[in-house]
Amino acid sequence: MPAPAPTVRSLARSLGLSRTTVSDALRSAGRVDPATVLRVQQAARAAGYQRNPLAAAVMSELRRSRSGTFRGVLAIVDLYEPDRSPHGVFHRELVHGANARAVTMGFKTEEFVVGRDGLTLARLDSILQSRGIHGIFLLPAWNKPDWSALDWSHYAGIYADYNIERPAMHCVCCDHYRSMMNTLGRLAAQGYRRPGLILEPGRDERIHRRIGAAFRAFQSNRPDIEPVPVFILPDSPREKFQAWFREFQPDVVLGHFTEVIDWMESAGAHIPADHGFVSLNRLYQARPCAGLDLQPRELGARGVELLIAQLQRSEFGLPECPTTTMLTARWVDGPTIRPAVARTVAVA
């Protein structure tokens, strides 16, 4: 039988010290004589003692709280980006889902915004380590974020988006490619033959062009679909959109923002009688419409589940093989798409 792993209790017994003294010495905390700290830490290294950061965080919180149901704290970290698109509702929904799932699993969450109120990565690193927080849930950034200045040997992490290379880590995000394919297939089944796609500059690039790739692949592989070029929103978008709309005559338009419906109607479209509109993210809708629910609350919940699983397995540090977990968007019917026509089969 292998020898049991050394513990604070066994170290205290072998050194003739109290468990409190050994615990404080291992954490370099409390009023422990420096010579005793050195002796304890040398004995711990010789015995192969390894501190469990998650257990330490639990004990730290239990010392501060009368409740015994606590299992840990997770940091939800955002990056302040002044030039980010102003629609923060997606982030709020992610956080809501993450918070709700964390509570059911016995964890608390705390939010941090790097770049706001003087919070630097170095300061965040110090705060997290001093408070024994070892799980980091990173919210999406519009530009390519760089979180490499954190000392990841102390943390498990999850990123709620695609675009993370510094450092590469596990991700949870929407499956935009499959979601677009499913949506176009549904529209084709409802009789639409000339779908048109509108994209903002940079929006498709930051998700590795998955929306545009799915759109073009669907067009090129369906002979019953007439190709319409993608419209990239320029300056003065209303006038240029209407010129594009009149020239290429899409019978259904897919885009993120419902102001496009007004542009279509100004160009003569009657929705849903002869044209349709689909929102690619219904969180951004300013009026009722059909579209996609990217399920940010579910993404937040799934991200927390994956993060807590890493903590429970003591998987700290950057992964050798980062994985991506993707959820398909959910279709939501609305008044901007004509109802599907039920097919009847003649019986002889």
C-alpha to C-alpha distance for 207 and 169, rounded to whole angstroms? 16
Distance, in Å, from the CA atom of 105 to the CA atom of 305, rounded to the nearest integer, reads: 8
- Cα–Cα distances (Å) from 142 to 85, 86, 161, 241, 268, in that order, read 8, 11, 10, 25, 35
* Residue 15, amino acid: L
Which of the 8 DSSP states describes residue 105?
T
Whole-number Å distance between alpha carbons of 227 and 285: 26
Residue 36's pLDDT band (cuts 50, 70, 90) = confident
Helices (H), the chain: 8-15, 19-26, 34-47, 53-64, 89-104, 121-130, 176-189, 210-221, 237-248, 259-266, 296-312
Task: Name the pTM for this structure.
Answer: 0.77
The pLDDT value recorded for residue 347 is 43
Residue 135 near residue 159, CB atoms below 8 Å: no
| CB neighbours of residue 107 within 10 Å | 22
Mean pLDDT lowest among 29-33, 175-179, 260-264? 29-33
The C-alpha atoms of residue 47 and residue 68 are separated, in whole angstroms, by 31
192 or 49: which leads in pLDDT: 192
pLDDT of residue 230 exceeding 70, the answer is yes
H-run or E-run covering 324: strand 324-327
List residues bridging with 231 in a β-sheet: 198
pLDDT at 340: 74
Per-residue pLDDT, averaged over 153-157, amounts to 96
pLDDT recorded at residue 348: 41
| Dihedral angle over CA of 277, 283, 285, 288, nearest 10 | 80
Mean pLDDT across the stretch 60-89?
Answer: 72
Q: Identify whether the C-beta of residue 193 lies closer than 8 Å to the C-beta of residue 225.
A: yes
Residue 163 has pLDDT above 90, yes or no: no
Our CA angle for 288, 291, 296, nearest 5°, is 105
Average pLDDT over residues 192-217: 93
First to last CA, the chain: 78
